[in-house]
Amino acid sequence: MPPSLHAVMMTASMSACEGSTRYDPPSRLQDSQVVAFFWKYVDEISDAERLKLLRWMSGLFCLPPGGFSSLPSFKISKDHGSLDRLPSVSTCSFSLYLPEYETFGQL
Protein backbone atom coordinates (compact mmCIF):
# COMPACT_ATOMS: atom_id res chain seq x y z
CA MET A 1 0.00 0.00 0.00
CA PRO A 2 1.52 3.36 -0.98
CA PRO A 3 2.02 5.90 1.81
CA SER A 4 -0.59 8.60 2.21
CA LEU A 5 0.21 12.15 1.17
CA HIS A 6 0.15 13.15 4.85
CA ALA A 7 2.69 10.43 5.69
CA VAL A 8 5.00 11.61 2.92
CA MET A 9 4.66 15.23 4.04
CA MET A 10 5.40 14.40 7.68
CA THR A 11 8.41 12.25 6.77
CA ALA A 12 9.83 14.86 4.43
CA SER A 13 9.30 17.54 7.05
CA MET A 14 11.70 15.95 9.52
CA SER A 15 14.67 17.78 7.98
CA ALA A 16 12.69 21.02 8.18
CA CYS A 17 11.96 20.23 11.82
CA GLU A 18 15.65 19.70 12.57
CA GLY A 19 16.61 22.93 10.84
CA SER A 20 14.18 25.05 12.82
CA THR A 21 14.59 23.35 16.22
CA ARG A 22 15.34 25.53 19.25
CA TYR A 23 17.41 24.23 22.13
CA ASP A 24 17.09 25.03 25.82
CA PRO A 25 19.65 25.91 27.03
CA PRO A 26 20.87 26.87 23.55
CA SER A 27 24.57 27.32 24.25
CA ARG A 28 24.97 23.93 25.92
CA LEU A 29 22.37 21.61 24.48
CA GLN A 30 22.52 22.30 20.74
CA ASP A 31 26.00 20.80 20.39
CA SER A 32 25.56 18.14 23.07
CA GLN A 33 26.14 14.45 22.57
CA VAL A 34 22.55 13.50 23.42
CA VAL A 35 21.16 15.82 20.72
CA ALA A 36 23.56 14.26 18.22
CA PHE A 37 22.33 10.83 19.36
CA PHE A 38 18.71 11.93 18.85
CA TRP A 39 19.22 13.22 15.28
CA LYS A 40 21.30 10.12 14.44
CA TYR A 41 18.41 7.96 15.66
CA VAL A 42 15.96 9.97 13.52
CA ASP A 43 18.18 9.49 10.46
CA GLU A 44 18.48 5.74 11.02
CA ILE A 45 14.83 4.76 11.55
CA SER A 46 12.44 3.88 8.74
CA ASP A 47 10.00 6.36 7.26
CA ALA A 48 7.14 4.59 9.05
CA GLU A 49 8.93 4.87 12.40
CA ARG A 50 9.83 8.51 11.67
CA LEU A 51 6.15 9.20 11.06
CA LYS A 52 5.27 7.62 14.43
CA LEU A 53 7.96 9.71 16.10
CA LEU A 54 6.62 12.91 14.55
CA ARG A 55 3.12 12.03 15.67
CA TRP A 56 4.36 11.34 19.22
CA MET A 57 6.41 14.54 19.36
CA SER A 58 3.80 16.85 17.87
CA GLY A 59 0.47 15.25 18.68
CA LEU A 60 -0.47 15.84 15.04
CA PHE A 61 -1.94 13.13 12.87
CA CYS A 62 -1.24 15.24 9.79
CA LEU A 63 0.46 18.53 9.07
CA PRO A 64 -1.55 21.67 8.40
CA PRO A 65 -1.20 23.44 5.04
CA GLY A 66 2.27 24.95 5.02
CA GLY A 67 3.85 22.01 6.89
CA PHE A 68 6.09 22.56 9.90
CA SER A 69 6.77 26.14 8.85
CA SER A 70 3.20 27.03 9.86
CA LEU A 71 3.71 25.62 13.39
CA PRO A 72 5.68 26.99 16.35
CA SER A 73 9.37 26.01 16.40
CA PHE A 74 10.11 22.60 17.85
CA LYS A 75 12.18 22.73 21.07
CA ILE A 76 14.54 20.21 22.64
CA SER A 77 15.24 20.67 26.35
CA LYS A 78 17.35 18.82 28.86
CA ASP A 79 15.42 16.55 31.21
CA HIS A 80 17.02 17.02 34.61
CA GLY A 81 15.70 13.72 35.93
CA SER A 82 17.40 10.35 36.20
CA LEU A 83 19.12 8.71 33.23
CA ASP A 84 16.65 5.85 33.75
CA ARG A 85 13.85 8.06 32.45
CA LEU A 86 12.56 7.84 28.90
CA PRO A 87 12.43 10.93 26.69
CA SER A 88 9.17 12.82 27.14
CA VAL A 89 7.24 15.44 25.18
CA SER A 90 4.88 18.31 25.65
CA THR A 91 2.76 18.34 22.52
CA CYS A 92 1.14 21.67 23.46
CA SER A 93 4.48 23.47 23.32
CA PHE A 94 6.17 21.23 20.70
CA SER A 95 8.86 20.30 23.23
CA LEU A 96 11.00 17.18 23.62
CA TYR A 97 12.75 16.54 26.95
CA LEU A 98 15.88 14.39 26.72
CA PRO A 99 17.83 13.01 29.67
CA GLU A 100 21.58 13.43 29.15
CA TYR A 101 22.20 9.86 28.06
CA GLU A 102 25.85 8.89 27.92
CA THR A 103 25.55 6.42 25.01
CA PHE A 104 23.49 6.08 21.85
CA GLY A 105 22.20 2.74 23.18
CA GLN A 106 20.59 4.42 26.19
CA LEU A 107 18.49 6.59 23.90
Coil, strand, or helix at residue 20?
coil
Longest CA–CA span in the chain (Å) reads: 44
State the catalytic residues: 92
Determine the Cα–Cα distance for residues 99 and 107; give it in Å rounded to an integer. Answer: 9
CB within 8 A of 12, min separation 6: which ones? none
CB within 8 A of 18, min separation 6: which ones? 39, 42
